[in-house]
Structure 1
């Protein structure tokens, strides 16, 4: 070897050395995965045959009672009447078919199992769609389930402490949490700071949440933004509290988690293996005063958040 060569390369180089090294590999990262706090905070109720019948009292103010009287003949008589045609909720299916070529799963499943990762990522996407449906479904979603008497509008456009106080008057019986787009929560935080009342935080599930009057503001990017405006929801949750509950189908074939099933559909003549992934769920608002919404919440100008409006 010439002196010139020795001067230029006196040891094994990095590029050549890497050919003998095993790189550590991450599992695929999916940027659309969110914490899905709404799904975690709801109480989930199993239903039979995919149907939930919500029975309500008709004319609740007509139920009469009285304090005890000296003359018991003066006691009122009453009964509790029920609605003749209660609403029935039917479970909604979020589903897809995942295809994986057997050659891929056979040859390229080390160190990470290709089928397992394909299923994991697809299930995460289905669960993201589930949360979106719980908020936006035109039949049973939160935004479609708000009674007209439970809708209020912002006083100034940007969400203020006064607006959230007004929401609390609508859901004053054990309010659970506000649900808002992260940009709406940021807008509320700015308004609080501007007024000299920065909202305190609380730790839930290892994460920090802003609060107002002790009620946490829970973020979800599934709340729509249109022309720089969005909504803030306040809800009470739980069956015992006559609040908002989630509904799911128990005992599914291939059940992976409540309401979610994965079923192998076979391998076709092109060596493609298929898996049916289905998630069955719905949502019910047990009483009208369990849910309220603040409308026309301004989060900022279009040019401030261009990617949000695409």
Structure 2
């Protein structure tokens, strides 16, 4: 210490050189809850093919309630099947992850670099999976809804009347509404404007708005374009003849249903490669298992005039 300079305590900057910083794993803002994947029933398929058999002309099946005078008074009938049923083929979402061995050897404390690279890449693949379940041209919900099950709102923002129209279309044990978070916010504002605030329900430890007891589930994978989005109402499960997710079981290197990670080896440039693949699809078992409300305006400044009803 130079002569004449006052003695001071150890400073923060110098002290930090001896301290251990508490570190987090890498955070990634693109990760979402992916509620659609959680709420679907997932059905294993063989050889990547799911054949959807359906009855042909179900209204032609004849039954009767005659007085008890014997079997001669009963009609004769049978149930025919479609001769060319639709088949769904699993599609893949995947990538090859490269990790330099020097990185994994030297910098894997306190977190394993390979494990963290795999975790973040798998999360991104699962985000893409949910998007495909909604918008894939071959099997996506929004691209395979029957024309008779598609309606458009007349009022602009989503209203309770609009959601009631969806319930009319999917009245056999509807499971949940699905829309963009902006759509849920717009519906909440419209309900407040009408003086009918929607109740909430707790699912998976989170709170969701409901309408007629049916939860409104948010997903940022539902398209939002030019201030407009869509509302979807689904019935789910094979027993209910609803919507089901499809996956391939028993994959080599299976990490979770339909997802595999396989080590591809180390190249001459010391790069270790891992093949990550997720196989999935989706099937709408009957047309009335799904309905879509199109052209829903979510602009918060849309003609807001409070109108309260008793």
Task: For 1:166-245, list aligned pairs within 5 A.
Answer: 166-245=165-244
Give the corresponding residue for 2:36: 38
| Residue-by-residue CA offset, 1:278-303 (whole Å, 9 max, x unaligned) | 00000000000000000100111799
Q: Report the number of matched residues.
A: 301
Give the corresponding residue for 1:156: 155
Give the corresponding residue for 1:53: 51
Give the corresponding residue for 1:287: 286
Q: How much has 1:69 moved relative to structure 2?
A: 2.8
Q: How much has 1:132 moved relative to structure 2?
A: 0.3
Give the corresponding residue for 2:299: 300
- 1:157 aligns to what SS in structure 2? coil
Runs of 4+ in 1 over 3 A off after TM superposition: 1-4
| Residue-by-residue CA offset, 1:197-253 (whole Å, 9 max, x unaligned) | 000000000000000000000000000111111110000000100000000000000
Determine if contact 2:93/2:125 at 8 Å carries over to the other structure. yes
Determine if contact 1:227/1:302 at 8 Å carries over to the other structure. no
Q: Does 1:103 pair with 2:102?
A: yes
Give the corresponding residue for 1:307: none
- What is the CA–CA distance in structure 2 between the aligned matches of 1:69 and 1:144, rounded to whole Å? 49
Q: Does 1:125 pair with 2:118?
A: no
Give the corresponding residue for 1:144: 143
Determine if contact 1:247/1:283 at 8 Å carries over to the other structure. yes
- 1:78 aligns to what SS in structure 2? coil
The alignment's C-alpha RMSD in Å is 1.3
Q: Does 1:62 pair with 2:79?
A: no
Give the corresponding residue for 1:20: 18
Q: How much has 1:157 moved relative to structure 2?
A: 1.0
- What is the CA–CA distance in structure 2 between the aligned matches of 1:254 and 1:70, rounded to whole Å? 63
- 2:185 aligns to what SS in structure 1? helix
Please list every run of 5 or more consecutive structure 2 residues that lacks an aligned counterpart in the other structure.
Answer: 303-310
- What is the CA–CA distance in structure 2 between the aligned matches of 1:34 and 1:93, rounded to whole Å? 20
Task: For 1:252-291, list aligned pairs within 5 A.
Answer: 252-291=251-290
Determine if contact 1:53/1:88 at 8 Å carries over to the other structure. yes
Give the corresponding residue for 1:306: none
- My pick for the range that moved more, 67-76 or 103-112, is 67-76
Higher helix proportion, which one? 1
- 2:263 aligns to what SS in structure 1? strand
- What is the CA–CA distance in structure 1 between the aligned matches of 2:3 and 2:298, rounded to whole Å? 68
Give the corresponding residue for 2:5: 5
- What is the CA–CA distance in structure 2 between the aligned matches of 1:3 and 1:27, rounded to whole Å? 47
- 2:217 aligns to what SS in structure 1? strand
Q: How much has 1:5 moved relative to structure 2?
A: 2.2
Q: How much has 1:3 moved relative to structure 2?
A: 5.9
Q: How much has 1:4 moved relative to structure 2?
A: 4.5
- 2:142 aligns to what SS in structure 1? helix
Give the corresponding residue for 2:249: 250
Please list every run of 5 or more consecutive structure 1 residues that lacks an aligned counterpart in the other structure.
Answer: 304-310
Q: Provide TM-score, normalisation by structure 2.
A: 0.95
- What is the CA–CA distance in structure 2 between the aligned matches of 1:139 and 1:171, rounded to whole Å? 22
- 1:192 aligns to what SS in structure 2? helix
